[in-house]
Amino acid sequence: MDLSGALRAIADCSVLTDADAVAGYVADWTGRWRGGPAIVARPRTVEAVSAVVRACAAAGVPVVPQGGNTGLVAGAVPPAGAVVLSLRGLDAIGEVSDGAVVAGAGVTLANLESFAAARGLTCGLSLASGESATVGGAAATNAGGAEVLRYGTARARIAGLRAVLPDGAVLDRRRPPPKDNTGYDLVGQLVGSEGTLAVITDVTWRLDPAPRARTVLALAFPSPDAAVAAVPVLRGLPGLLALEWSDGAAVARVAGHLDAPAPLPTDGCWVFAELDGPLDAAGAVDDLLPDDRIAVAEGEDRLRLWRFRARTTEAVAAAGVPVKLDVGVPVESLAPARAAIVDAVAGASPDVEPVLFGHLAEGNLHVNLLARAGGRIPEQLADRLEGVVLERVLAFGGTVSAEHGIGRAKRAWLGRQRGPEQVALMRRIKDAWDPAGLLNPGAVLDPEVGRRPSS
């Protein structure tokens, strides 16, 4: 039997091979990265996931695990001939115990948060893509988002997990004892491994008490430098949940996209602060800016303000196919690093517009580059732009991927960031988990470099 026949014989699993049906699984949603052709397997149980992995291992065919396919570094874009293993069908949510709930890998973050909210809790992971992004994808990529400052990245939210190993065996650490200091941390190793070590099928997710009230403040600083200079004061705001920033031009772009006027001037740089508490907690910002540069909203109204940050990715996508660089530098270097990045982009091409926004508290800047004429930036120019920007970031002691991971898009930069010894150690870790190299090959690590001879 050929592989698709073997996959079709698996109980609780549907299989797609038709080009139209697989189209949404082989390209990333920005349209920049396209892979395949590929078969898509959609198991609904852990047993079926294991059977799919075993069938692929027997056939020597690579497996690319995929959640909501909202990643931005082509980590779930399959190489030709691979099987995309979509985990979206594993969407059950269990009961809360010990402050955590076991959720199937395919549960969306929005559904997890609704489940939590109904119990006065929060999952603590806030992504603009939460309607599609899944718990399994968040675990596999150690997702961050807006509230990292309060709740940490996905790593801090994960108390346990279950995963299928590359030979089909099941590793079950869903409910490790709350205090358990035995041996290597296998759960921790899988978090952020981008589907290259095992297939995460369930995640035990910590839930925290939900904020009492949420207030959003938008502050329209006259310049990015002024915004960065205010960080020490802003970090002291009582109940701070999130501290984000967006260039005025990025806010104006969202306003245009939504056909909704921006409530503050867009000449400089906006900062968005979300607070766990009522409006009066916002008083502390009165000394920073005049009243006509501050907007405050609470309850459901806050989403009307927050959308000028949260919907930036969508507004950018509406204008063309962006080159996305997700960089971070120490907060004290943010102002000069941002200026150097803008200069580098302008020096590389006058035809490219940088759209700058991100997570101010962590020194994280999403550099989205758009062709001014619309459409896509030619790949050669994209490579040059990536080079000039990421070199600047490294010179400031920053990171070439603060939040989105390495995937396939940033693989060439892993060695520059982490050095050859650490990459060689990562390779040995990969080989230990996945000796045949069939799990998401080409993500994180170069599939050709450092492979052990097979005999």
Q: CB of 80: closest distance to ligand 2HG in angstroms?
A: 27
For ligand 2HG, the closer CB: 50 or 69: 69
Confirm if 253 and 305 have CB atoms less than 8 A apart: no
Task: Show the DSSP H helices in 37-80 as ranges.
Answer: 46-59
Scan residues 242-301 and list those touching ligand 2HG (CB under 6 A).
none
Q: CB of 313: closest distance to ligand 2HG in angstroms?
A: 3
For ligand 2HG, the closer CB: 202 or 403: 403
For ligand 2HG, the closer CB: 59 or 128: 128
* Closest by Cα among 289, 126, 152, 172 to 222: 289
Could you say which of 141, 204, 313, 440 contacts ligand 2HG (CB under 6 A)? 313
SS3 161: strand
Q: Does 32 bind ligand 2HG (CB under 6 A)?
A: no
Scan residues 369-428 and list those touching ligand 2HG (CB under 6 A).
403
Token pair in block for residue 117: 């909210």
For ligand 2HG, the closer CB: 57 or 77: 77
Q: CB of 366: closest distance to ligand 2HG in angstroms?
A: 4
Instruction: Give, as one character, the DSSP assignment of residue 156.
Output: H
Scan residues 104-163 and list those touching ligand 2HG (CB under 6 A).
128
* Closest by Cα among 426, 417, 414, 422 to 398: 417
Amino acid identity of residue 355, one-letter, is: V
Residue linked to tokens 């949510």:
93
For ligand 2HG, the closer CB: 72 or 438: 72
**Is residue 379 classed exposed, middle or buried when 0-12, 13-18 and 19+ CB atoms within 10 A define those classes?**
exposed
For the CA atoms of 368, 370, 372, 375, the dihedral, rounded to the nearest 10 degrees, stands at -160
* Closest by Cα among 369, 395, 394 to 384: 369
**Is residue 194 classed exposed, middle or buried when 0-12, 13-18 and 19+ CB atoms within 10 A define those classes?**
buried
SS3 286: coil
Token pair in block for residue 5: 């026949």
Amino acid identity of residue 381, one-letter, is: L
For ligand 2HG, the closer CB: 196 or 368: 368
Q: CB of 92: closest distance to ligand 2HG in angstroms?
A: 27
Q: CB of 206: closest distance to ligand 2HG in angstroms?
A: 21
Q: Does 324 bind ligand 2HG (CB under 6 A)?
A: yes
Q: CB of 128: closest distance to ligand 2HG in angstroms?
A: 5
Q: CB of 277: closest distance to ligand 2HG in angstroms?
A: 23
Size of the site for ligand 2HG (CB under 6 A): 8
Q: CB of 221: closest distance to ligand 2HG in angstroms?
A: 19
**Rounded Cα distance, 127 and 427, in Å:** 30
Residue linked to tokens 């310049």:
223
**Rounded Cα distance, 435 and 427, in Å:** 10
For ligand 2HG, the closer CB: 366 or 411: 366
For ligand 2HG, the closer CB: 270 or 433: 270
Confirm if 356 and 338 have CB atoms less than 8 A apart: yes
Q: Does 368 bind ligand 2HG (CB under 6 A)?
A: yes
Pattern 57-76, ligand 2HG, x by CB under 6 A: ---------------x----
Q: CB of 197: closest distance to ligand 2HG in angstroms?
A: 23
Could you say which of 162, 307, 366, 408 contacts ligand 2HG (CB under 6 A)? 366
For ligand 2HG, the closer CB: 16 or 409: 409
SS3 402: coil
- Residue ranges in contact with ligand 2HG by CB under 6 A: 72, 128, 312-313, 324, 366, 368, 403
